[in-house]
Amino acid sequence: MSRGSDGFVLDGKGKLVDGWLDTGDLAWIDHEGFVHLTGRAKDLIIRGGHNIDPAMIEDALLAHPDVTGAAAVGRPDEHAGEVPVAYVTVVAGAPATAQELQAWAGQHVGERAAAPKSVTIIDAIPVTAVGKPYKPPLRADAARIAIQDALAKFGGVEHVEAAALGRQLEVGALVVDREAGRVVIDLYAGLLGKLRDVLRE
């Protein structure tokens, strides 16, 4: 951006698309012309080429009287690329179960593709130093679950771990089988769920 005689002008050195500066923010404009920011494009869940805004899922879950916090992320899926899953915090002693909250979300999200495949109740939604939701650890956990499910058919899965390392996701799985010996599987992925797996026996 540069300052011209008529004020500040976009100079084209940033990311311009048809004359608009692409900030990566998601927003909508109401009937009075006010712009409402709803999230970031990098947080989109892409299910079979269909873009899902996590805020749609989070808002549906937050409408439940027992839910105090919600975060939706994409879980790797071999058929759809990603499927939406959600993590929630609930009122202490609340009777709601993960299955009930999943059914609630399925009934209250605006589109069928956005209905979460699972809801997990956790103690706290991870946040940054300034208190904003921090989703990489949740994406890591979702990938861990997907990998654990995929490896279940091989039997002998002892433990699967996952961690968010900066902008990368690292997942490691140990498979132990007495007859085949010890097998170590290391899987690495980007935050959008693109997994590269290497199997060493």
Token look-up 């698309």 returns 17
Shared domain check, 109 and 50: yes
Who has greater pLDDT, 186 or 198?
Answer: 186
Residue 57 and residue 20: Cα distance in Å, rounded? Answer: 28
Residue at 128 is within a domain: no
CATH number for the domain including 194? Answer: 3.10.450
Residue at 131 is within a domain: no
Tens digit of each residue's pLDDT (9 = 90 or more) over 133-143 = 888 889 888 88
Shared domain check, 79 and 18: no
Decide if pLDDT at 125 tops 80: yes
3-state secondary structure 2-48: EEECCEEECCCCCCEECCEECCCEEEEECCCCCEEEEEEHHHCEEEC
Q: Which of 97, 121, 145 is the last residue of a domain?
A: 121
The boundaries of the domain holding residue 10 are 2-38
Residue among 128, 131, 112, 120 nearest 96 (CA): 120
Shared domain check, 140 and 105: no
Shared domain check, 64 and 18: no
Segment among 87-91, 128-132, 177-181 with least mean pLDDT: 177-181
Residue 109 and residue 86: Cα distance in Å, rounded? Answer: 12
Segment among 88-92, 101-105, 189-193 with least mean pLDDT: 189-193
Residue 130 and residue 49: Cα distance in Å, rounded? Answer: 33
Q: What is the pLDDT of residue 155?
A: 64
In terms of DSSP H, where are the helices of the chain? 54-62, 98-108, 136-151
Decide if pLDDT at 52 tops 80: yes
Shared domain check, 158 and 174: yes
Q: Are 49 and 78 in contact (CB under 8 A)?
A: no
Bridging pattern class, strands 168-177 and 157-165: antiparallel
Q: Could you give the C-alpha distances from 52 to 3, 22, 122, 165, 190, in angstroms and in order?
A: 37, 19, 23, 24, 18
Q: How confident is the model at residue 182 (pLDDT cuts 50, 70, 90)?
A: very low
Bridging pattern class, strands 168-177 and 35-40: unpaired
Q: What mean pLDDT do residues 61-89 have? A: 93
Q: How confident is the model at residue 154 (pLDDT cuts 50, 70, 90)?
A: low
Residue at 160 is within a domain: yes
Shared domain check, 151 and 98: no
Chain-wide mean pLDDT for the chain? 75
Residue at 130 is within a domain: no
Who has greater pLDDT, 123 or 41?
Answer: 123
Decide if pLDDT at 39 tops 90: no
Decide if pLDDT at 74 tops 80: yes
Shared domain check, 56 and 90: yes
Decide if pLDDT at 188 tops 50: no
